[in-house]
């Protein structure tokens, strides 16, 4: 499974990238706002930092303007994936932009039918939002499973990018089902290393080392 980090914070991306934990980055207008940076400036910096796809989102709602914005974003760097919403206009933009050779991430997917349309339109990535479905008492993992089955049935090359991931269990279940990619905040990726039994075992080892007077350096 590929790990994308869902942030526009350069320091957080750099830390995870140095550990080999970053296969790509996803951003959106909310994350750009949080960073306090200009979208073109911070996106270029992220693209220079990581070698994998960097999703940068259009803000238009009409296809023609989405396409124009997508072309401008794609010109930032070769590893830009233009992010468009899963609307009819977004699908039109996806078709044109992928036809021009650009990577496209179709976002805000909440149904398998939507994912099927995105694959037909040539999307590079489809981003089903797990956490937001959970918020309305719908199991987001069922959506990941349905998309995986449909894509495998027909050999679609669109990659399933599990998004709106809020917990380490979301990561685990997405990996079990076979999502190609997951995108999560740095805090969730770091939390994957934590386990109470690891902490307990380490505490025991350190106490025993102190009792034994063990020194290595």
Does 95 participate in catalysis according to the annotation?
Answer: no
- Judging by DSSP bridges, how do beta strands 159-162 and 125-128 pair with one another? parallel
The H or E element that residue 26 is part of is strand 24-26
SS3 138: coil
Dist. CA 178–CA 145, nearest whole Å? 8
Between the two ends of the chain, the Cα-to-Cα distance in Å is 38
Which of 83, 92, 95, 211 is catalytic? The answer is 83
Nearest to 178 by CA among 145, 207, 209: 145
The H or E element that residue 6 is part of is strand 2-6
Burial class (CB in 10 A: 0-12, 13-18, 19+), 206: exposed
The H or E element that residue 47 is part of is helix 39-49
Instruction: Give catalytic residues, as residue numbers.
Output: 83
């Amino acid at each position: 499974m590929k790990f994308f980090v869902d942030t526009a914070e350069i320091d957080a991306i750099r830390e995870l990238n140095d550990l080999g934990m970053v296969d790509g980055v996803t951003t959106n207008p909310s994350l750009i706002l949080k960073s306090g940076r200009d979208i073109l400036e911070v996106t270029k910096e992220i693209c220079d930092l990581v070698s994998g796809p960097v999703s940068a989102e259009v803000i238009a709602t009409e296809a023609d303007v989405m396409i124009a914005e997508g072309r401008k974003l794609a010109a930032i760097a070769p590893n830009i994936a233009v992010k468009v919403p899963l609307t009819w206009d977004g699908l039109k933009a996806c078709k044109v932009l992928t036809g021009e050779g650009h990577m496209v991430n179709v976002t805000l997917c909440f149904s398998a039918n939507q994912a099927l349309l995105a694959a037909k339109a040539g999307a590079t990535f489809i981003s089903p939002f797990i956490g937001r479905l959970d918020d309305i008492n719908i199991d987001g993992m069922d959506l990941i499973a349905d998309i995986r089955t449909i894509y495998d049935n027909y050999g679609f090359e669109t990659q399933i990018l599990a998004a709106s991931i809020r917990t380490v269990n979301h990561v685990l279940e997405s990996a079990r089902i076979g999502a190609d990619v997951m995108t999560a905040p740095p805090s969730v990726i770091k939390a994957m290393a934590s386990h109470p039994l690891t902490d307990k075992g380490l505490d025991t080892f350190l106490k025993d080392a102190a009792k034994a007077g063990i020194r290595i350096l």
